[in-house]
């Protein structure tokens, strides 16, 4: 199940708004009985109903999973300077294809962390 933040963000995007532009106009809260929208001051867009937010649950879950995979991959990739060194060595050895060490390193991260 997607978080209220993610569903709200998707609702905004579906209505030509962005969380980044509107976050100061929205307050999400949890008082112990669940997340809810405490305040909504988005110009030109009504506060979403529970049904509208629920319609973003599946897409929100997918977005959160993808975000998690990208974050995990980002931490698993070799540092950029190491990747550049691998690329240079592969090119010098005429291995600018799937046999090169850079490709193997990136492929391993992607295989270990599928989308």
- Domain extents in the chain: 1-76, 78-115
Quote the DSSP letter at residue 49: P
When pLDDT is cut at 50, 70 and 90, the band that residue 106 belongs to is very high
- Examine the pLDDT at 115 and tell me if it is beyond 90: no
Residue 99, token pair as written in the block: 């046999």
pTM over 0.85: no
CATH no. of 1-76:
3.30.56
pLDDT for the residue 47: 98
Here the tokens at position 46 are: 């009504």
Percent of the chain whose predicted confidence (pLDDT) is above 90: 97
**Structure tokens belonging to residue 87:** 């690329």
The tokens of 17 are what?
Answer: 């708004």
Q: C-alpha distances in angstroms, 110 versus 22, 29, 31, 39?
A: 34, 36, 39, 40
pLDDT in tens, 12-44: 999 999 999 999 999 999 999 899 999 999 999
If pLDDT is split at 50, 70 and 90, which confidence band does 98 have?
very high
Quick one: pLDDT at residue 87? 97
């Amino acid at each position: 199940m997607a978080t209220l933040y993610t569903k709200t963000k998707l609702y905004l995007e579906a209505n030509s708004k962005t969380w980044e532009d509107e976050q100061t106009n929205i307050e999400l809260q949890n008082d112990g009985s669940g997340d809810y929208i405490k305040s909504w001051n988005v110009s030109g867009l009504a506060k979403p109903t529970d049904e509208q937010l629920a319609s973003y649950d599946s897409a929100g879950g997918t977005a959160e999973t993808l975000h998690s995979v990208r974050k995990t991959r980002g931490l698993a990739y070799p540092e950029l300077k190491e990747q550049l060194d691998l690329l240079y060595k592969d090119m010098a050895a005429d291995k600018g294809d799937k046999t090169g060490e850079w490709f193997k390193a990136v492929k391993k991260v992607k295989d270990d962390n599928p989308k």
